[in-house]
A and B are shown apart, each in its own frame.
Chain A
């Protein structure tokens, strides 16, 4: 995948395309995590296309969500993301690298984790699905897609 528009600034990753200040700097995600999330989104949320800008917004929401978590939860999420950065893990599941994996192969990889005998893999697959879907549907813009009547703000 291309992270051409995502650049390093002062040691933190920022989506460089967002000059209008819509995107803030990340506190948790690293550059390689963005590659992972870019590969995960078309597999876990396959019903829409994921242009770079939407991916960057999703990364921002995810980073903000993780920033609220406890130290131990953050370190577990770090372990979870790092699992995908282990080459042998990807090779074992038939993938060469995260920036070349297709949505279909990523989906297969997650399915094989779900049906694995190792509870750590099951856990990891469930956690990824929960985090990514939870963050996506927390965005009020998805309300209309679900025909969910958004709450009327009380004055």
Chain B
């Protein structure tokens, strides 16, 4: 059953076993696992329920307002970081670039050493295997597109390691429009896997409702109160949906989950709710090649490199798909210079460096706050040391781009200009500020803010995501992680969901 808030005209009340808030990797997968066990489940989602057939135009102008938080232009409080987050049935999995990594062993070791978490690669292996099978995650056998192959070529020329990315696709057409919703249904997102499975087993899906507050007393949540979102906009309506349930699972993403718990005044002895929120801050390097790259065609991400990942302020190298609106809103140049770069789109190769976040004393992450409208905002600033990490990342990307044959390289920075050699670029970087709003920083992975742990003084939930002191309230999304994953987090979220709910 589907109860669409955009078309609702009267208040409604539901009674179920499990109420799940959010339909991304954690929420939708938990919904299907619990439905398989025979529980009555309701999934509430702020975004719309759109299907594969709605994505056939493959247009950014349609996708960003409909499928992303704040039209894909969500920003941190100081406006220095653009955060790409899905907001639709399927969450980030509907619009991500299908990149799948297990949680790196180094990350798990850091968690064991610093947070007393018991997870190892071996202890999680079974859960990852099940998810890989269930969501068709396997190495991408088709040759990478030019954008990706230039990353491989550059790393290879420098004698540095790179690898091939596993993707969650089945019979993929290799189109390159994953970010605007897969038009063929090849991407094994939650939208085409767990959601239909849960619906077939009797789950209720309630899209276009914004979860406002959990009502609770004496450590027990009694109901969720949500309000409709009429039409396509972002304004909350006045029609109310009340869901009474035996158990409540919050899976609204690492900004939405802490925000709902904070709005609901959930007790938190650790003081960590909404704190230590990490984002893999990502810097960008563009390179112009003689031959056409067409960075918008083909599987968006198929090559990566962890060569620099575990050094100080290390970073993972990947490439993004480059479509016009994404490029136009990323470039920091203005006027004629902006246009000049836009006109080079076909010959543009772009690398991104995702910084490891949360592994150092001065890498404390950000805080989720509620503004005067009750909407969440992430207050995030980076340290000087991380800024130096950005510089190293921009240099490393330029080096590999030149090694791959780039004519010109442009670090995405307000004061940067194109360089024709690595020496010139290195000299320019020395003089560039890495402060907020000077260098372009984007993020597509938000983690932390309701971390799991073994003691209620040092974590928001226990190892199973159950909020301390609450009998029937859990968290099941990237909020649980005590640092960033140091890899694209979807498979980590799926793996823990399976660990807890299978």
Name A residues whose Cβ lies closer than 8 Å to a Cβ of B. Answer: 43-47, 65, 67-73, 107, 110-111, 114, 119, 122-123, 126-127, 129-130, 133-134, 136-140, 142-143, 145-149, 151, 153-155
Contacts and interface: CB of A to CB of B under 8 A. Distances in A.
Given A68-B65, A129-B332, 17 more contacts: A44-B335, A45-B339, A47-B339, A68-B232, A70-B235, A111-B334, A123-B437, A130-B73, A137-B327, A137-B328, A138-B324, A147-B345, A147-B346, A148-B324, A148-B345, A148-B346, A154-B184
Contacts of A151: 57-59, 175, 177
A142 B375 contact: no
Contact of A44 (B58, B73, B334): B334
B408 interface: no
A43 B183 CA distance: 37
B63 to A, nearest CB: 10
A107 B336 CA distance: 11
B342 A69 contact: no
Given A69-B234, A122-B437, A140 B61 contact: yes
B371 A130 contact: no
Contact of A68 (B79, B175, B234): B234
> What are the 6 A-B residue pairs with the smallest beta carbon separation, nearest first?
A151-B58, A138-B61, A137-B328, A134-B329, A133-B328, A68-B65
B56 A153 contact: yes
Contact of B61 (A127, A133, A139, A148): A139
B12 interface: no
Nearest to A75: B373
A122 B414 CA distance: 10
B234 A146 contact: no
B436 interface: yes
Nearest to B371: A72
Given A69-B234, A140-B59, A119 B437 contact: yes
Given A43-B335, A126-B332, A138-B61, A71 B343 contact: no
A29 to B, nearest CB: 16
B325 interface: yes
Contacts of A119: 78, 436-437
A155 B57 CA distance: 10
Contacts, number: 117
A134 B328 contact: yes
Question: For chain B, what secondary structure do more than half of its interface residues adopt (helix, strand, loop), or is it mixed?
Answer: loop
Contacts of A44: 334-335, 338
A58 B486 CA distance: 41
Contacts of B4: none
Nearest to B53: A154
Nearest to B61: A138
Interface size class of B (residues with CB under 8 A): 35 or more
Contacts of B375: 70-72
B349 to A, nearest CB: 15
25 contacts: A44-B334, A45-B335, A45-B339, A47-B339, A70-B70, A70-B235, A70-B373, A71-B375, A73-B234, A114-B334, A126-B79, A133-B328, A134-B73, A134-B329, A137-B324, A146-B346, A147-B343, A147-B345, A149-B296, A151-B58, A151-B59, A151-B177, A154-B56, A154-B184, A155-B56
Interface of B: 56-61, 64-65, 70-71, 73, 78-79, 175, 177, 183-184, 232-235, 294, 296-297, 323-325, 327-329, 331-332, 334-336, 338-339, 342-343, 345-346, 371-373, 375, 377, 414, 436-437
B437 A126 contact: yes
B371 A137 contact: no
Contacts of B332: 126, 129
A82 to B, nearest CB: 17
Given A46-B335, A70-B373, A148-B345, A136 B328 contact: yes
Nearest to A27: B233
A47 B345 contact: no
Contacts of A133: 328-329, 331, 338
